[in-house]
Amino acid sequence: MIAYLNKINAFINYLDPQILTALQHISTIKTFKKGSFLLSMDETCKKSYVLESGIARKYYLNDGKEMTTELFFKDDIAISLHSYVQQSPSREFIQAITDVSVTVTDYQAFQVLKTQYPALMELDLMMTEYYAIWLEDRLFQFHTLTATERYLFLLQKQPHIIQYIPLSYIASYLGISLETLSRIRAKLI
Amino acid sequence: MIAYLNKINAFINYLDPQILTALQHISTIKTFKKGSFLLSMDETCKKSYVLESGIARKYYLNDGKEMTTELFFKDDIAISLHSYVQQSPSREFIQAITDVSVTVTDYQAFQVLKTQYPALMELDLMMTEYYAIWLEDRLFQFHTLTATERYLFLLQKQPHIIQYIPLSYIASYLGISLETLSRIRAKLI
DNA sequence: CGACATATTGAGATCCATCAACCAATGTGG
DNA sequence: CCACATTGGTTGATGGATCTCAATATGTCG
């Protein structure tokens, strides 16, 4: 998993400088205040956001309850995949948890660039593969681990998450209630 | 979701015949007997299998128990993604549930062809996106639906599954025990 | 300080897993 | 062709994990 990330980074480093310049031409830097939305439900995800600083999350509403599906840190790519890929209305929100700075890249412009530079198509494929593997792993966790095990797993793999993010977000990310998470933590001390 | 499948099919239909011929050159037809394995754990997934007839499933072992993660029917692509993409040992098995006929395509040969024909790179991307969206949807179901709801959802979306596949496979596919599934079905009648 | 968001704790209800017994259909060797 | 094993499915009893509702505590920020 990490190995594959390294492969992607290596691929980016070996990209033709001309391609990188072209990418920069269709990208801008933008900031979002804590609590504001990079993407709202029913909106089409027409931009990708690479986090430069700050933290964001992706969530949807279920019976009025917010279910967090993904947490974004530096260098993560924040999009709502189903909306981005199909250019259809999103079921998800993407929200800044702290003040956030991002590199914004336009979907349409990127599509054009991909047909121009096959290396970008390949890069897009690698990143999508990585996301799919990450999803498989998450599904595996829901399939086989108890709530406590999922929490410990998160603690071990991404200890930084716990420090900066409200427990209510973490609870729904783990697929458990806030109360259960609180009890799990109490027991572990 | 279906719309995107249509888009992929349209894309395939408009592929340069030369590309299709090249694809056929690196593919062969093969059959597997019921119960036999297209891929075993610890083996690297070096082929992709497009089902022509029959049914297959993907599963892994957890505490000695088989957890079914995916069911394959006609035209589905059976691979273990993490193993295929990273060319590393698989955690999963792919097994023929009935006698199965498949079109086998070699990973390495396909990689070469992709660099030769960018349209194939694009096709690979679209198929991976589709799989990722499917995974997101499955994760959504585990996140928000009860066992009964997940079963009803499956019944509604893929009624053919129930007819040909042992309940034990379906149970683990839904993330529940065989007994619970049996009770759910009893209540629904 | 007061107000609002965030987290903890308790009690009861619910869902689902586990263990175990049992049943039906199918297949196999003698 | 029968006896028996095997596979797939059902049903019952029980316990544990987790949810929900509700009350309380803690923190944070204007």
pLDDT tens for A31-41 read 999 999 999 99
Residue B159 has pLDDT above 90, yes or no: no
CA angle A47, A44, A38 (to 5 degrees): 50
Choose from B69, B120, B121, B145 for mutation: most chain A CBs within 10 A: B121
Residue A84 confidence (pLDDT): 98
Pairing relationship of beta strands A92-96 and A37-39 according to DSSP bridges: antiparallel
Å: A97 CA to C17 C1': 37
Residue A189 has pLDDT above 80, yes or no: no
Give yes or no for a contact between B98 and B51, defined as CB atoms under 8 angstroms apart: no
Residue A117 confidence (pLDDT): 97
Nearest CA in chain A to B8: A86
pLDDT in tens, B27-75: 999 999 988 999 999 999 999 999 999 999 999 999 889 999 999 999 9
What distance lies between CA B153 and its chain's CA centroid? 18
Give yes or no for a contact between A16 and A37, defined as CB atoms under 8 angstroms apart: no
Residue B64 confidence (pLDDT): 84
Give yes or no for a contact between B74 and B52, defined as CB atoms under 8 angstroms apart: yes
Q: Which residue is nearest to nucleotide D16 (CA to C1')?
A: A146
- For the beta carbon of residue A56, count every other beta carbon within 10 angstroms: 25
What distance lies between CA B168 and its chain's CA centroid? 18
Query: Predicted confidence band at A138 (pLDDT cuts at 50, 70, 90)?
Result: very high
Å: A14 CA to C7 C1': 48
Residue B160 confidence (pLDDT): 84
- Smallest CA–C1' separation from A165: which nucleotide? C6
**For chain A, what is the mean pLDDT?**
95
Contacts of A138 in chain B (CB under 8 A): 139
Percentage of residues in chain B with pLDDT exceeding 70? 100
Query: Predicted confidence band at B133 (pLDDT cuts at 50, 70, 90)?
Result: very high
Full-model pTM? 0.95
* B157 vs B145: CA distance, rounded Å: 15
* B65: phi then psi, degrees, rounded to nearest 5: -95, 140
Which strand D bases fall within 7 angstroms of a protein CB? 7-13, 17-22
Å: B145 CA to D6 C1': 35
| Lowest model confidence (mean pLDDT) among A76-85, B151-160, B175-184 | B151-160
* A175 vs A151: CA distance, rounded Å: 10
* B182 vs B189: CA distance, rounded Å: 11
pLDDT in tens, A96-111: 999 999 999 999 999 9
Residues 6 or more apart whose Cβ sits within 8 Å of residue B162 = B154, B155, B170
* B23: phi then psi, degrees, rounded to nearest 5: -65, -45
Beta bridge partners of B72: B56
Query: Predicted confidence band at A89 (pLDDT cuts at 50, 70, 90)?
Result: very high
